[in-house]
Copies of this chain bind each other. A is one copy, B any other.
Amino acid sequence: MTQTCRIVFPLYPGVTQLDFTAPHQVFNRMPGAETVVASVGGADIEGDGLVFTRLAELEAVEGCDVLCVPGGFGTTAAMLDEAYMASVRRLGAEARYVTSVCTGSLILAAAGLLKGRRAACHWAWRDLLTLFDVEVDEGRVCRDGHVITGGGVTAGLDFAFVASSEIFGEDAARRVLLGLEYAPAPPFEGGRPELAPPHILEQVQRAMGAAIDDRRAGALEAARRLRAHTS
């Protein structure tokens, strides 16, 4: 692979930083990869207490080979931000691969880029995909044609290695896997609702209560706008 492969991460306020820092770490070490981290107007972006600067201006990014949209609690506002969504729609329409991590798939869906596709998402929010005529996949990484989506947050690592193997070849992916020492060993199971102790699941769901209502309302409005946009 001698050509450059441009991978664009369109950030927005309230992004979950690990959703893109993990795949960025993987892609950044692939031979020929050019990673571009962008935001509307090139503004600094805060996500979970980290502030990212010297970002590219999203509107000025001419095109990309891979569009990779991260998720986060800012997803709802991002889906309703016309400037952000116009860039996602424009870049996604021409990208060789349209990808996401976590609730980033809701943004792709709201941009109309997943219509009739299967996609993964964070377990707590994935049912919202159906509002956009997207089939929910409960897997950690889901491939449907040129669309590759990951589940919640940490699934971004598995997603990045699956996507890298496809884009840069298995040997390149394996070299970076070894270099980043990706042989995970969580101290306990429970990273999926069906594996978590019931009292933990209940506590997490209770803590998410308000965010769930809020995000559903946002997704309904985004779905309404998408219908208006495409009809």
Contact = CB atoms under 8 A, between A and B. Distances in A.
Given A17-B21, A48-B28, A177 B186 contact: yes
Copies in the complex: 2
Interface stretch (A58-66, A91-99, A128-136, A190-198): A190-198
Interface stretch (A76-84, A105-113, A150-158, A220-228): A150-158
A183 to B, nearest CB: 3
Nearest to A140: B185
A75 B91 CA distance: 37
B35 A25 contact: no
B24 A50 contact: yes
Given A157-B184, A185-B140, A191-B182, A50 B37 contact: yes
A125 B197 CA distance: 38
Given A141-B187, A178-B200, A181-B191, 4 more contacts: A51-B53, A171-B203, A178-B196, A183-B189
Report the contact-size class of chain A (Cβ under 8 Å from the partner): 35 or more
A154 B197 CA distance: 25
B200 A180 contact: no
Contacts of A146: none
B187 A162 contact: yes
A123 interface: yes
8 contacts: A18-B22, A37-B49, A44-B54, A161-B188, A171-B203, A178-B201, A181-B192, A183-B186
A115 to B, nearest CB: 25
Contact of A178 (B53, B185, B187, B193): B193
A19 to B, nearest CB: 9
A191 B26 CA distance: 13
A205 to B, nearest CB: 10
Interface in A32-57: 35, 37, 44, 48-54
Contact of A35 (B49, B177, B200): B49
Counting from the closest, the 9 A-B pairs by CB-CB distance are A152-B181, A183-B191, A184-B184, A53-B53, A18-B25, A21-B21, A182-B191, A153-B180, A51-B54
A209 interface: no
